[in-house]
Amino acid sequence: MASSSRRLRAFKRWMKSQGIEYSDTLEFIDCPDQGISVRTLSDLHEGDVVANIPKTACLTIKTSGAREMIESASLDGLLGLSVALMYEKSLDQDSPWAGYLQLLPPQECLPLVWTLGEVDSLLPGTELHKAIKEDKTLMYEDWKENILPLIYSASQSLDPSSFSVEEYFAARSLISSRSFMIDEYHGSGMVPLADLFNHKTGAEDVHFTSVSPNQEYEDDVDSENSDKNELSKISDYDETASTSSENSYIHSDSDLLSMPGEDPMMLQMIMVREVKSGDEEIKLPPRYVGYLRSLKEDILHLIFIRFAIRMSVGIFIWKNKGSGLSWNIARDIIALVFNTYGSLGNAALLHRYGFTEPNNPFDIVNIDLELVLKWGCSLFSSRHCRSRLSLWRRLYLSGSTSEDSEYFEISFDGEPEMELLSLLYIMLLPDDTCHKLDITICTADKVNGNIGMILSEKHDITWDTSSKISKELLLTEKVCDALLALADIRESCYGSNSIDEDMEALKRSCMKERKLYHSLVLRTSERRILEKLRTYATAGALRSRTFQNANKTSTRRKRLKKH
């Protein structure tokens, strides 16, 4: 499809009518499979303003024609924004946002709008399975308690089909993947143009903000780092929380008052790094050469666009070199421009935005405390497990928490958290050592001092209470065996298919099968982390045996010297 499709031309006319300005270097691509994306025709430099978007052009509760109805019903947050979006969509061409809304899909392919059967068959064992089912239940209750009464209210004349539970879930999927936090007054909203920029984790080119281009970006770095911590356990349901931790990086109007010369009613999109690079060549397999030569130029152009978007690179330039054929990636002429939603793992990306990224370095796997206790009860009595868990908590240790669950993170590299290692260590302590720890629990430095005391005696090392506990010392052979057992228990949650079967299924799938493809990317990425955890535990056990043997040899030598 040509980059100047009918809906794209309508959107450009609408942007002009709303006072939205964008750089002449930006060009929009309309691809049936991938939707609208943005590319640049020339180099962009750090600090360049590529777009100005009036806040009045944003679809929010405050700007919607449904504002009075929403505020009278005391609706706010994402729930209120959902009503505003459904209302404007129900007006069709009569909506002030018709030129923008016609560009949006009916819904985004988020797990939220998958059927329960699809959730159960595609996501078992993943970090999303339980969270999606909980979200569906809570959002249905919201619709029933807050939106259904509006439909049948005598003071409102609403089309029930435009405010059905299906439309509500569809609106929530669009808001989850496209909304931004604008400011304290407007709250979250749909921001035309800003939601078209491609995403790439950890590769932000353009920055959406109300802040002056000359202002430093330290706040944003902190926001991005907090994303990684806050999104460990997936949960999208929070009506009162803002979406600023998702994809916004927006400062409030109160911040803007201290910046003279800035328009508080204007949002800006600013380049945070240069977009330029050299050429790179990709050779085509010979079997494709004849086929591509037979295609018309416009069809070839479409193929190049699809490939470019999928591979996250620039548009390809046609080059004919003798008897061979190649594509040239002209990044110095045309490049895609990326926005970023923060440092998110695949579970968070699929949950909120409907896609995944292979080899995502921010992926994690969570091991619930419940699974740790299940492992413990397979070796010890439930009383033993409860008492050791209580002792662990008395050391002011705990896992991460989310609503009613407690869990431990396994990093992308397969490394467990210190809290999990310390719990396993305490679970496996001999009774006399555990008793000694129990009676010294009230010393000054509870965590380092008490466990450190045990480690110093056990490994014959000098212990400084100000020192941090080393993971290496906690990785005894028994703790490593426990990690291997936990990896197996966590792996069993994915069902009977092996990781090799999942990886083969992923190779056979394609991007058109979005639900299957992205669920398989998530499953395989999580299961690879469990494989890395096994490698980590195996290596730790080997080091522990080597350390113990060295200790025994040293002890024997000391005894011989005494004699």
Q: What is the DSSP string of 301-325?
A: HHHHHHHHHHTT--PEEEEEETTEE
CB 125 within 8 A of CB 132: no
Judgement on whether residues 99 and 236 belong to the same structural domain of the protein: yes
CA 396 to CA 393: how far, in whole Å? 5
Whether 20 is covered by a domain: the verdict is no
Helix (H) or strand (E) holding 35: strand 35-40
Residue among 416, 335, 461 nearest 29 (CA)? 335
CATH code, domain carrying 148: 3.90.1410.10
CB 15 within 8 A of CB 176: no
Judgement on whether residues 215 and 300 belong to the same structural domain of the protein: no
Judgement on whether residues 307 and 403 belong to the same structural domain of the protein: no
Q: Return the amino acid letter for 181.
A: M
Domain boundary among 219, 253, 271: 271
HSE (side-chain half, CA atoms, 13 Å) at 118: 16
Whether 82 is covered by a domain: the verdict is yes
- State the CB neighbour count (10 A cutoff) for residue 187: 19
> What φ, ψ does residue 298 adopt, rounded to 5°?
-70, -35
Whether 359 is covered by a domain: the verdict is no
Q: How many residues does the chain have?
A: 563
Q: 479-489 burial string, b = 16+ CB within 10 Å, else e?
A: bbbbbbbbbeb
Judgement on whether residues 321 and 383 belong to the same structural domain of the protein: no
> Residue 109 CA to chain centroid, in angstroms?
15
- State the CB neighbour count (10 A cutoff) for residue 461: 13
Residue among 459, 503, 236 nearest 350 (CA)? 236
Whether 358 is covered by a domain: the verdict is no
Q: How many helices (H) and strands (E) does the chain have?
A: 23, 17
Whether 455 is covered by a domain: the verdict is yes
CB 480 within 8 A of CB 544: yes
CB 116 within 8 A of CB 103: no
- Total number of domains in the chain: 3
Whether 3 is covered by a domain: the verdict is no
CA 33 to CA 30: how far, in whole Å? 9
CA distances from 212 to 36, 223, 247, 268, 427 (A): 28, 18, 19, 8, 54
CB 265 within 8 A of CB 195: no
CA 383 to CA 395: how far, in whole Å? 19
Residue 75, token pair as written in the block: 């609706």
> What are residue 44's DSSP bridge partners?
275
Judgement on whether residues 312 and 456 belong to the same structural domain of the protein: no
CA distances from 11 to 7, 18, 36, 159, 504 (A): 6, 11, 11, 26, 41
Residue 271, token pair as written in the block: 């380049």
CB 29 within 8 A of CB 307: no
Give the residue numbers spanning the domain of 536. Answer: 365-562
pLDDT per residue as tens, the chain (563 positions)? 444 588 999 999 999 999 999 988 888 888 766 677 777 777 777 788 888 999 999 999 999 999 999 999 999 999 999 999 999 999 999 999 999 999 999 999 999 999 999 999 999 999 899 999 999 999 999 999 999 999 988 677 889 999 999 999 999 999 998 898 888 999 999 999 988 875 545 444 455 555 433 333 334 434 444 443 333 344 445 444 333 333 333 333 333 222 334 457 888 888 776 765 333 334 444 444 444 444 444 444 444 433 333 333 333 333 333 333 333 333 333 344 444 556 789 999 999 888 898 889 999 999 999 999 999 999 999 999 999 999 999 887 888 988 778 999 999 999 999 999 999 999 999 998 888 887 777 654 444 445 555 555 554 444 444 445 678 888 999 999 999 999 999 999 999 999 999 999 999 988 778 899 999 999 999 999 999 999 999 999 998 888 666 665 655 555 656 65
pLDDT on residue 242: 36
For β-strands 400-402 and 365-368, DSSP reports them as unpaired
- State the CB neighbour count (10 A cutoff) for residue 358: 9
Q: In 162-215, which residue ranges form alpha helices assigned H by DSSP?
A: 165-178
pLDDT on residue 439: 78
Judgement on whether residues 172 and 125 belong to the same structural domain of the protein: yes
Whether 232 is covered by a domain: the verdict is yes
Judgement on whether residues 128 and 180 belong to the same structural domain of the protein: yes
Q: Rounded to two decimals, what is the model's pTM?
A: 0.74
Judgement on whether residues 544 and 439 belong to the same structural domain of the protein: yes
> What φ, ψ does residue 316 adopt, rounded to 5°?
-90, 140
> What φ, ψ does residue 74 adopt, rounded to 5°?
60, 40
Residue among 187, 230, 240, 250 nearest 352 (CA)? 230
For residue 85, give the 3-state DSSP assignment: helix
For residue 467, give the 3-state DSSP assignment: coil
Crossing angle between the packed helical segments 446-459 and 418-427, to the nearest 10 degrees: 60
Judgement on whether residues 258 and 296 belong to the same structural domain of the protein: no
CA 497 to CA 207: how far, in whole Å? 42
Token pair 């640049």 is at which residue?
40
Judgement on whether residues 225 and 332 belong to the same structural domain of the protein: no
> What are residue 190's DSSP bridge partners?
59, 179
All residues at 6 or more sequence positions from 429 whose CB lies less than 8 Å from its CB, including other chains: 388, 437, 454
- State the CB neighbour count (10 A cutoff) for residue 102: 16
Q: In 241-396, which residue ranges form alpha helices assigned H by DSSP?
A: 244-247, 253-256, 286-293, 297-310, 346-353, 369-379, 382-394
Residue among 30, 494, 18 nearest 301 (CA)? 30
CATH code, domain carrying 415: 3.90.1420.10
Residue among 371, 363, 287, 398 nearest 526 (CA)? 363
For residue 137, give the 3-state DSSP assignment: helix
Judgement on whether residues 452 and 545 belong to the same structural domain of the protein: yes
Whether 106 is covered by a domain: the verdict is yes
CA distances from 188 to 196, 387, 508 (A): 17, 47, 39
Judgement on whether residues 105 and 239 belong to the same structural domain of the protein: yes
CB 489 within 8 A of CB 371: yes
CA 416 to CA 485: how far, in whole Å? 14
Residue 113, token pair as written in the block: 């709008």
> Residue 316 CA to chain centroid, in angstroms?
29
Apex 515 CA angle, 511 and 521, nearest 5: 70
